[in-house]
Chains A and B, each alone.
Chain A
Amino acid sequence: MIYKELYDEFITLFPEDKDYFRSKEEETGAEREDGMHVMFGLIICPYILKIVTEDSQKTQKAFDFIEKMVTDQDSMVGNVAEVSVLENIMTDENGGMKKFERFLGKESMNAVKHLSHYFMIDGINE
């Protein structure tokens, strides 16, 4: 996976929601040049938090992509998934891990378990 293309690669998976992504880009002013932590933290995470209550197929597709990122050979790619997606969703105040656990791939769950040592959160079993 190519670091600079992660955002576009992700949103391409959800062509039906391109208006959502465009409106979030306008609302936040975030652009690809700002970096993938910004794009995933400010746009993709809120999107995942939205779809998890609406559509389990879409949510699974999103987390399959996140798993692909976590296992990518480029550590910059995995960093975005761990620090700006998994850390954000596991600490989400409206349910966190309880809502997401069933969608996580093996390596994503390992990343969450590592991160969880440094956050006061419930619902993660070693």
Chain B
Amino acid sequence: MGGGYHGGFGRKTDFYVGENGQVLPGKYKKWIGVSRREHLLRSIKNANLMKAIDALYRPGSFIGDGGTASVLKFEKRTGEHVSRNPEGHYIKAQEMTRFLKNKVLKENLSNKDRKMANKVIRQLQYALLEWEDRI
């Protein structure tokens, strides 16, 4: 992630400041990743898959790979809540997974799009299982 900086000069880092001036506790620094949004959107052709990716990978998201699955894992493992209600992203992940499986996968997708959709679904399912303490 570019633009942010951490406390330096040999002092223990205890916060991370983003481009927008918002602060994330330094202990969560390992969660700061590179968003796959642009890569995914560039790689796929199907319009509804793009819409789903657009909803799941929001611009500016820096938790893990920038997707809702990463947010779920972050929330579960750290106890932090990206939205004010603990279940916000959990319900979204459930519904978007169902939409991808029941609607998008039933469309006439290219092999590449199908592979990508399945990968996103697997990531969401894994994060949901972890959230539910089922793995």
Contact = CB atoms under 8 A, between A and B. Distances in A.
Interface of A: 27-30, 34-38, 41-42, 45, 75-76, 78-80, 82-84, 87-88, 91-93, 110-111, 114-124
Interface of B: 1, 3, 18-20, 22-24, 47-48, 51-52, 55, 58-63, 71, 82-85, 87-89, 91-92, 94-96, 98-99, 102-103, 107
24 contacts: A27-B48, A28-B51, A28-B103, A30-B103, A34-B99, A34-B102, A35-B94, A36-B95, A37-B95, A79-B92, A82-B88, A83-B89, A84-B92, A115-B82, A115-B83, A118-B71, A119-B58, A119-B59, A120-B3, A120-B19, A120-B60, A121-B20, A122-B20, A124-B22
A45 B88 CA distance: 17
Given A116-B20, A120-B20, A82 B61 contact: no
Contacts of A114: 83-84
Given A30-B99, A117-B24, A120-B1, A91 B55 contact: no
B95 A91 contact: no
